[in-house]
Structure 1
Amino acid sequence: MKAAEAMLRQNLPKPVTVGSHAYVVVTNACRKIGEDLLLRIVRLEGVSSSGGDARVGRSGFRDAWPYQDVEALGMRLGVLYRLCQDDANLSHVTDSIISANGFSYKEDEQPPRDSVEEKDPLGSGSNLFNGVHPAGKQPARAPRLVPAGLLNDFILEGLAYSNMHDREEEVVQAHSRTFEWVFAKPESLHEQGNTFNHQLTTWLGTNELGPIYWVTGKPGSGKSTFMRFLFHHQLTQHHLKKWAQGQQVCTAGFFFWTSGSREQRSQTGLLRSLLHQLLSANTESIPNAFPKLWGKLRTMSTKDRIRLTLDWTAADLLDAFQRFVDAALPRMRLCLFVDGLDEFDGDHNALIDFFKNLSIGTHRNAVRMCLSSRPWNVFETAFQNNVPNLRLQDLTYNDMYRYARDRLRMDFPIRDLLRYNAEAGEILINNAIERADGVFLWMRLAVNEMLKISNPGLSMKALTGFLNTLPTDLDQLFTKLLFEGKKESHLTEAAILFRLMTAQETVADFVRNDSANSLTVWEIAFATRQEDDELAMSAVVEEATDDVINHRCAETVDKIRLRFAGLLALHGRQRQGNMRATRFVDPQSGEEDYLNDTGKRVTYIHRTVRDWLMEADGVYNRLVEKAPAGFDPHLRLLRSYVLRLKNPLEEIEHHRRLDEWWEDIALAMTHARYITVDATGLQRQFLNELDKTLSWHWLDKPEDPYDHWARNAFGAYEARMKSSPIWQPFLCLATKFGLYQYVREEVSARARVDKEGGVSDEQRELERADSTPLLAYATEFLCSRKLTIYPLSSPQLVGFLLQNPSRINPGPNDEYTEFATRQPRTPWTALLRHLRDARRRGWIEFYDIGPEGTARWSEIVRLFIEDGGADVDAVVAADIWDPEITARGVLEMLEETYGAVEIRRLRQLMGKTKGKARAK
């Protein structure tokens, strides 16, 4: 056995310290797995020697190496093998390891098979319910059944999400008479001398062609516009009624959007949207779709129902969708329109199987599914030779002709050219169509550029010559429009816009705020000017005047439209998540309304634009490097929130409704955590100004010396009223948000004031020894951040707090009263409880080689022991799920379960620490 161990150690890859960071990640991951395997081998050696037989029996092997451990090992090794086989993947290895293979927390992750499940306080056995009633008690039963209408609204509101309709509304509307050929008779359809029988009307009106129809086409050919046109057209309903033969037809649509929020590109988003549309039109089917949930809600009290939130999983939604189909289809017909399958952020084969499964069995003739995607291999294999389909670029020649002709005729100088040079005008338009090669997006941009150069002296020769200078390749056209012939100052403004947009996407995704994925004009208006840094500190709170709104918005809209060469668009949200209104509302025409512009969101005009910016060779760096020196988009967006608080668009009202500010607070605080460039130390100033400004808006209680807006961010009202007052709540909140730089500067500054005697007697009287210390907030999310906006605990922040004890953060062994349970704790025993709970809940991965996994929290435990002098003899009290256990027992349990080398080192460290304590 020792020889085998030596051989394994000899052949482990050594850590790489130069070259690709991705390669370092791979080799270090391999080394960690190898070291973990050595621990398993030693464990097996112990099992075999204890029985006096060199062989290990089945039961002994299972105890030493459980199934889920072996299963995880196979998955990890398979990932690393595939990555090493493909050099092209090495540059993306970090993301592949973390996101594709479950090394960070997954929303639908289940606990290990041998773990003890937490008790469901509602007794439902469903993971839809999020939140625990105090002390694990059963909720009180309502004296009467809740009316069905209220439950319908509750479930529909739970299914809805704020940007559920955004992508559909952002899709460009079809130009007049565009796509009308789809409803023409096949014999009348002639495109460039060819006849294309797309058979779509036959598919809509009969069962002859099967349940699925596939729309495909080149990027930018207009697939989403076509799907929106088809989804809403009255003739679509006409043909579907013929198919239904007197039965009700229920339609629903979804538009995937890879540049959008998590829900806009996910399976859960698809199912939530489809279910919301279908159940809104068939509310009587809601109990059938969610029988367990309906049964629990029906007997809940109003108070318990208000406190309940629904955490939808893919499994829950798939089950509900199937239940709806089984219950509804015998009496109706169902037609789905789903656009952009290629923009689904997941396994495309699994998505295809979902739709194929709907098309087979007893419901085959009662379901229609019109699906669109790019002509990727995975979709061509599934659909090209198996279902009726059309290639959009083969059918839009006449549509492009009308579009180009009508748009150009709207300009007076060009209209005159086309009128007096009819033959040359025909040649110009046909040349544009040929160059577009079926890509409607190219035609749209080309026409826009021709309109820009229009002037009374323009000649047809000059216009034709200009058209011929435009590259036919989309990526090359984007490059020409954004970069060529542009002033450096204009490129700088474009770079600022782009970095602000990408920073917002990052933060909105982290805090799981789907509605904030794209910035509004008003948010950008206070983030672009360098000179606004001083204004954020000096301005007083006053309602924004018309002059401020008009000036800021006009300037911002011009930058968006002009500096980004027309590649960005402004969209006003017309429907909120659960509004049961007409699916589409035409935008109102009229003069510029800057107050209305404040809420418009800035998006890319098409997916290909974002793909080009993020993925085309050298484009991202070429644009980003144009940003000014010292520019940090997260710092600017933090400042933007401060200035928007000081320039409210609505009449000022002092109130205590924190939820009205909370989403923006979470975004601003998270932007603060992402700041990397802050040479003048503005982060702390902006955060303190944010605290000060919110306190100004807050309707405080003079009789309560601990009253503060940030205090209301900690737990429910009932918990706060029964718990110890939170001393310095904003600093505590900043610690939960992981703001290392701010906490370090603020704690140090307060320590200096304290040392210099700057703390008044009144302030000292507010100090509470039983308040939760900063260390406890810093380690609250040690192993998982499930369903929270806060980050995982940071070793850097924990290290600082351990090395710099203060009155609000005395040390790891100092006792306080835990906020929610009001039980005695220390930061050290709280940390151990987190580890114990994480094992039970399955939040710790086997062979965890991700940067945010075992290595990170093990480092925090090490810091507690080595730097903080944590009590290795401490005892973690029993609770309703787990018995009492010692600190050493927690580590022993973790090593026994996971066999990770980091945990073995922590146990050894504990032993050394205990030995030193005895020697003293």
Structure 2
Amino acid sequence: AAFGLAANTLQVVDFTAKLLSAGQQIFKDGSTVQSAELELVANDLKVLTSRLKLRTRPDPNVLGPIAQNTQDLAHESEKIAQELIDILSTIRVKGETLRCRCLLHAIKTMWNKEKIEETVRRLETIRGELQSRISISAKEENLLALDEATQNIVKSLLENRSDVTAAIAAHADDIVREYRASEVASSRRHKQLLYAISKTKDWTVEPDDLLRWIKANLHYQRIHDRFDDIVKAHQETFSWILEEDQDCRFNQGPKMLEWLREGSRIYWTTGKAGSGKSTLLKNLHQDPRLAKALQSWARAENCTLIILSFYFWNAGIDLQKSQEGLLRSLLLQAPSEQPLLGPILFPEQFEFGARLTEFPTFHDLRRAFKRLTDNLPDTFRIALLIDGLDEFDATHVTISELADIFIAATKSPNVKALLSSRPLPAFEASFGDRPKLHLHELTQADITAYVDAELSRHPRILELFDDDPEGITALIAEIVDAAAGVFLWVKLVVRSLLEGLHNYDLMPDLRERLTALPRDLEDLFRHMLRNIPPNYKAQSSRIFQIHSTNEMHDYTFGYVSLTPLGLYFAEMDVSALMKAEVVPLSALERERRRKEVEGRLKSRCAGLLEFRSRAGNLQTHLPMAQLIVYLHRTVADFLKLDEVWDGILDCTRGGKFDPHLSLLQSLIMRSNARKRARQLGLSKGPIRTPLQDLWRLVSSAMQYARLSEGLTKTAHLEVLDELDRAMTSHFNVAQERFEHNPSS
């Protein structure tokens, strides 16, 4: 109401002011006004005044201060307008043919000059105040359309009050509470509906379908990644461990082959970091001689053998380093090997009317594992292969308690476990009296064979051997002695020597290289970082940050691992993103980019990051892919050290680099480069297709956009526009395909 009143009053004021100004102009120019024109003027002013009178009728409600002031201005304007109307009427009644020298002359007969000038100034003042009132009234009327909490915030802003932050925070809390309450209510209704369906008498599930459902809920992303990431052993490395005629390396107790065939409970493989424990266990797992030896143990009692494995990975996601992840993996494998175990391990889920909405809880897992190790029929024998006990996350369960889990599990004569870890005191205390081997003390011959084979691949070594055979032999022996059984150290040293051979180093040069390399792994890693050329330091820092950020978030955002092509796109200039076409890359182009990234990792990151082939996920049809991973778990641990990571970050401090933005850019480019929808399969079942992976890229991109904006306080709208452009292109193609083939 106040807004309308002010607007009408402003019309009257403008009209009156123009009338006075026109009269002044008439007086100045000596023009005349026809009586018909004066009548038109008078009538127009009457209409405006009548509107004003309607707006100024007394309001039954109490007026606010702004509305009251507006009404006072309206009365003042009405008074001035009425006086002018009376003057105009006087002029009109003297006759239609009467001419006046000017309108101002008629007004002057009733008002003196000072009165007119005063009225003009008053009208200008009223005009300014009304414009202000109209603005405020518009705000007030819009404010009334808002909810009470939002009104309080807007009023605080308008009045420049100091409690605006508190008002906004309180309103945000209200919104969050309302959203959570709504979400909880929806979730409750959903569970009630599922429970009601499960109780329906006509509702039945086939046992095979139920087992598939149980296995699907036990499965998790990255369940096989650690196994895939373990480097394959070199040629015949560790093959001796399952040979019939084993040498005197085993002087610490029963030989492993004997334990596999006849032993019980626990066999512990231990060794220094980087000595090859994980590689050994992976080799054993894949060696048919292991299964054959364990079959001897199982068949002695006419039992069915089940081999279950798990590889802890401290640098991975929670489920790769926790008790829950261990149990879910083992309990998934058991019914996959023997479907008859499903109802034995999970009888609650096979009961009629069982609730299926919260499976698996941690209690479900513990009960099932106890049944696996304690309550299985005597017709089964279980062999556990567990690697990396020292990589277990001991946040909720101590390392000693983890050891106790396996000690308790292997009390049954039908269960035994081959375990692997570093020689931590807790494991020494728990497994010290069990059959064991210290791997780093048994690999001298393997390391010698590895060094000899790797160096012999380079033609320069043969030339040097011809010149100085004794020198080459001594060099290899020095490497083996300095390694102290740590295969990882040997791998890095051989890599440095091969670089020297490529540079045509002579024997003294090679020996100098070897002498310069620290014997401790961490010291060696520091040496490698220091030797990165200065002009590569900033780029090295960016790559490490991109990889670390991706490792931190990829599982949370839907598991988008960093591929060679993904890193290539992350390093692109943003201007290239703006020019990029939404077209798939050819196989030739992909291979070219892959080689570029491989070379850059070697030169910029000192080989601490490398490519590793990882098998496609069991729940997708995607083939094996190359991913960027740490050279070894010790590298991941090393880079997490505060002083090391701070040194890496120093190389980009003061700039505008944000790894989240780089990964956002990478995901957009990966979306651009993917095959079009007409080339992709659409899901008709639980198996994820490439088209769904495309949406997964988009979801992750939006998450990185959110994180980047939170850190930089900048919304990267132009980058997100490129994502919109890419997805619009894919959507148009998918829509065209659907229109031509709706059943696809």
TM-score band, normalised by the shorter chain? 0.5 to 0.7
Measured after TM superposition, the shift of residue 434 of structure 1 is 1.2
1:229-244 to 2 correspondence within 5 Å? 229-244=283-298
Which amino acid letter does the alignment assign opposite residue 522 of structure 2? D
Matched with 2:590 is: 549
CA distance in structure 1 between the partners assigned to 2:477 and 2:513 by the alignment: 15
CA distance in structure 1 between the partners assigned to 2:305 and 2:713 by the alignment: 63
Pair 507,296 (structure 1): closer, same or farther in 2 beyond 3 Å:
farther
Which amino acid letter does the alignment assign opposite residue 544 of structure 1? L
Matched with 1:689 is: 722
Matched with 1:356 is: 407
Deviations 1:881-901 (A, max 9, x none): xxxxxxxxxxxxxxxxxxxxx
Measured after TM superposition, the shift of residue 688 of structure 1 is 3.9
Measured after TM superposition, the shift of residue 141 of structure 1 is 4.2
Matched with 1:318 is: 366
* Cα pair 1:637 1:671 within 8 Å, conserved: yes
2:649 corresponds to 1:620: no
Alpha-carbon RMSD: 3.3
Which amino acid letter does the alignment assign opposite residue 553 of structure 1? R
Selected match of 1:408 from 422, 437, 455: 455
Deviations 1:341-375 (A, max 9, x none): 11111322231121111022xx2x21110111111
Selected match of 1:160 from 216, 219, 229: 219
Measured after TM superposition, the shift of residue 659 of structure 1 is 4.4
CA distance in structure 2 between the partners assigned to 1:454 and 1:642 by the alignment: 42
2:396 corresponds to 1:340: no
2:567 corresponds to 1:524: yes
1:220-619 to 2 correspondence within 5 Å? 220-244=274-298, 245=300, 246-295=302-351, 311-346=359-394, 347=397, 348-360=399-411, 363=412, 365-384=413-432, 386-418=433-465, 421-455=468-502, 457-484=504-531, 486-511=532-557, 513=558, 515-516=559-560, 518-529=561-572, 531=573, 533-546=574-587, 548-577=589-618, 599-615=625-641, 618-619=643-644
CA distance in structure 2 between the partners assigned to 1:336 and 1:288 by the alignment: 19
* Cα pair 2:678 2:733 within 8 Å, conserved: no
* Cα pair 1:631 1:677 within 8 Å, conserved: no
Measured after TM superposition, the shift of residue 552 of structure 1 is 3.1
Deviations 1:204-229 (A, max 9, x none): 1223xx40111111111111011112
Measured after TM superposition, the shift of residue 276 of structure 1 is 1.8
Structure 1 unaligned regions, length at least 5: 1-116, 123-130, 301-307, 581-594, 703-920
CA distance in structure 1 between the partners assigned to 2:331 and 2:205 by the alignment: 22
CA distance in structure 2 between the partners assigned to 1:447 and 1:170 by the alignment: 21
Pair 633,119 (structure 1): closer, same or farther in 2 beyond 3 Å:
closer
* Cα pair 1:523 1:644 within 8 Å, conserved: yes
1:618 match: secondary structure: helix
Pair 120,637 (structure 1): closer, same or farther in 2 beyond 3 Å:
closer
* Cα pair 2:566 2:670 within 8 Å, conserved: yes
* Cα pair 2:444 2:485 within 8 Å, conserved: yes
Which amino acid letter does the alignment assign opposite residue 451 of structure 1? L
Pair 135,178 (structure 1): closer, same or farther in 2 beyond 3 Å:
closer
Which amino acid letter does the alignment assign opposite residue 284 of structure 1? L
Selected match of 1:202 from 258, 271, 280: 258
1:883-898 to 2 correspondence within 5 Å? none
Higher relative contact order (CA 8 A, sep 6+): 1
Measured after TM superposition, the shift of residue 421 of structure 1 is 3.5
Measured after TM superposition, the shift of residue 535 of structure 1 is 3.1
CA distance in structure 2 between the partners assigned to 1:652 and 1:279 by the alignment: 38
Matched with 2:238 is: 179
Deviations 1:469-497 (A, max 9, x none): 2111111111222222x323322222111
2:585 match: secondary structure: coil
TM-score, L = length of structure 2: 0.66
CA distance in structure 1 between the partners assigned to 2:680 and 2:285 by the alignment: 46
* Cα pair 1:413 1:456 within 8 Å, conserved: no
Matched with 1:16 is: none
* Cα pair 2:253 2:436 within 8 Å, conserved: no
* Cα pair 1:543 1:651 within 8 Å, conserved: no
1:454 match: secondary structure: helix
Pair 419,382 (structure 1): closer, same or farther in 2 beyond 3 Å:
farther
CA distance in structure 2 between the partners assigned to 1:325 and 1:578 by the alignment: 28
Measured after TM superposition, the shift of residue 690 of structure 1 is 2.4
Matched with 2:687 is: none
TM-score, L = length of structure 1: 0.54
Q: Percent identity between the aligned chains?
A: 30
Deviations 1:261-288 (A, max 9, x none): 2221121211121122221110111111
CA distance in structure 2 between the partners assigned to 1:216 and 1:269 by the alignment: 22
CA distance in structure 1 between the partners assigned to 2:362 and 2:501 by the alignment: 53
Q: Which has the larger radius of gyration?
A: 2
2:731 corresponds to 1:698: yes
CA distance in structure 2 between the partners assigned to 1:540 and 1:177 by the alignment: 49
1:723-802 to 2 correspondence within 5 Å? none
1:253 match: secondary structure: strand
CA distance in structure 2 between the partners assigned to 1:280 and 1:579 by the alignment: 17
Pair 698,656 (structure 1): closer, same or farther in 2 beyond 3 Å:
farther
CA distance in structure 2 between the partners assigned to 1:671 and 1:660 by the alignment: 17
2:614 match: secondary structure: coil
CA distance in structure 2 between the partners assigned to 1:183 and 1:550 by the alignment: 39
1:212 match: secondary structure: strand
Which amino acid letter does the alignment assign opposite residue 148 of structure 1? P
CA distance in structure 2 between the partners assigned to 1:481 and 1:160 by the alignment: 39
Deviations 1:713-761 (A, max 9, x none): xxxxxxxxxxxxxxxxxxxxxxxxxxxxxxxxxxxxxxxxxxxxxxxxx
Which amino acid letter does the alignment assign opposite residue 644 of structure 2? V
CA distance in structure 2 between the partners assigned to 1:654 and 1:211 by the alignment: 50
Pair 332,654 (structure 1): closer, same or farther in 2 beyond 3 Å:
closer
CA distance in structure 1 between the partners assigned to 2:675 and 2:466 by the alignment: 48
Pair 415,167 (structure 1): closer, same or farther in 2 beyond 3 Å:
farther
Which amino acid letter does the alignment assign opposite residue 717 of structure 2? R
CA distance in structure 1 between the partners assigned to 2:652 and 2:339 by the alignment: 52
Measured after TM superposition, the shift of residue 260 of structure 1 is 1.3
CA distance in structure 2 between the partners assigned to 1:559 and 1:320 by the alignment: 48
1:738-887 to 2 correspondence within 5 Å? none
Measured after TM superposition, the shift of residue 656 of structure 1 is 9.2
Measured after TM superposition, the shift of residue 458 of structure 1 is 3.8
Which amino acid letter does the alignment assign opposite residue 356 of structure 1? I
* Cα pair 1:189 1:197 within 8 Å, conserved: no
Say which is worse superposed, 309-318 or 459-468, in terms of deviation: 309-318
Structure 2 unaligned regions, length at least 5: 1-183, 684-690, 736-744
* Cα pair 1:217 1:393 within 8 Å, conserved: yes
1:675 match: secondary structure: helix
* Cα pair 1:408 1:415 within 8 Å, conserved: no
Pair 251,655 (structure 1): closer, same or farther in 2 beyond 3 Å:
closer
* Cα pair 2:668 2:698 within 8 Å, conserved: no
Which amino acid letter does the alignment assign opposite residue 503 of structure 1? T
